[in-house]
């Protein structure tokens, strides 16, 4: 999404860009302190930082397939999950919020870096794991079984895309600056679509050894039309996620969706 901004093909007037690349849970935690003017965070984290950050209409990651998946070494009934140990990719991630939404009681949780969860389940450190990123494309090849595909469950229950990540901008920035940032990110995504090979070559620098075919599949499932604009379905999906989380008392309040366009 942001390759063109980083590579200099798209610029933001009167702004200097420093691209900080970290795992999503690190960005989630740093957003809690308002460290960055602009950040990508888990959709679940926006509910915790909406007093300080404003949602961008551009840069969201929403899926209808290949979303986070709960896996185990052998088949297990979802009703038995609360009695197990589950590895999660961070307590502020949308995947972890989904686990809490789809289990009657919260299981024992351990936080594991997202790229280590598959191994944590295989070696018995955890009974189950919530896989995100490319992990949801690779677990069967490693002998694990799916217990619940959250994207499938969400689509079945809501007929909406599943919000995973969003882009946020700090509310203390001038509103025109917020708009310039949002417009530049939309231009960056359009550049990536027009220059897909170059954008994917840039993305693979951060792909943790992912092969080219898997990288392409992963990116194209997460950078769809909702990345350009939330539209009605994207707004409805976020509203539903926060409403369900609030109903289950997993977030204190539903956040405003006053997105910068």
Residue 30 has pLDDT above 80, yes or no: yes
Tokens 């990536």 belong to residue: 192
Contact predicate 78/127, CB 8 Å: no
Stated length of the chain? 261
Contact predicate 38/181, CB 8 Å: yes
pTM score: 0.91
Write the pLDDT tens digit of every residue in 58-105. Answer: 999 999 877 899 999 999 999 999 999 999 999 999 999 999 999 999
43-57, 79-93, 130-144, 233-247: which has the minimum mean pLDDT? 130-144
The candidate with the shortest Cα–Cα distance to 66, out of 10, 2, 131, is 131
Give the helix/strand (H/E) hosting 130: strand 128-131
197 contact partners, CB below 8 Å, separation of at least 6: none
Domains of the chain, earliest start first: 3-63+161-191+224-247 (3.40.190.10), 69-158 (3.40.190.10)
Q: Is 133 a catalytic residue?
A: yes
6 contact partners, CB below 8 Å, separation of at least 6: 17, 19, 202
Query: Rounded mean pLDDT of 180-206?
Result: 91
Write the pLDDT tens digit of every residue in 99-147. Answer: 999 999 999 999 999 889 999 999 999 999 999 866 556 788 888 999 9
Tokens at 245, concatenated: 């989380």
Predicted confidence band at 181 (pLDDT cuts at 50, 70, 90)? very high
Interhelix angle 212-222/196-203, rounded to 10 degrees, is 110
User: What was the pLDDT predicted at 13?
Assistant: 86
> Which one is catalytic: 133, 202, 235, 246?
133
């Amino acid at each position: 999404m942001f390759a063109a901004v980083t590579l200099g093909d798209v610029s933001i007037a009167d702004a200097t860009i420093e691209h900080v690349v970290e795992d999503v849970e690190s960005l989630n935690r740093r957003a809690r302190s308002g460290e960055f003017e602009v950040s990508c965070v888990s959709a679940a984290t926006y509910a915790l930082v909406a007093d300080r950050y404003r949602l961008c209409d551009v840069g969201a990651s929403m899926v209808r397939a290949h979303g986070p998946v709960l896996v185990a070494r052998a088949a297990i009934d979802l009703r038995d999950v609360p009695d197990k140990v589950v590895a999660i990719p961070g307590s502020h991630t949308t995947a972890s919020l989904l686990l809490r939404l789809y289990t009657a009681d919260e299981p024992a949780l351990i936080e594991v870096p997202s790229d280590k969860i598959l191994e944590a389940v295989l070696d018995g450190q955890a009974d189950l794991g919530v896989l995100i990123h490319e992990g949801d494309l690779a677990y069967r090849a490693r002998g694990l079984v799916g217990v619940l595909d959250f994207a499938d469950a969400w689509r079945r229950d809501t007929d909406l895309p599943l919000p995973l990540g969003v882009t946020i901008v700090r509310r203390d920035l001038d509103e025109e600056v917020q708009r310039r940032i949002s417009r530049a990110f939309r231009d960056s995504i359009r550049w990536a679509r027009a220059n897909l090979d170059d954008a994917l070559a840039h993305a693979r620098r951060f792909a943790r050894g992912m092969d080219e075919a898997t990288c392409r599949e992963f990116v194209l499932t997460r950078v769809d039309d909702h990345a350009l604009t939330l539209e009605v379905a994207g707004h409805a999906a976020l509203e539903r996620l926060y409403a369900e989380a609030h109903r289950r008392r997993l977030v204190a309040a539903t956040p405003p969706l006053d997105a910068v366009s």
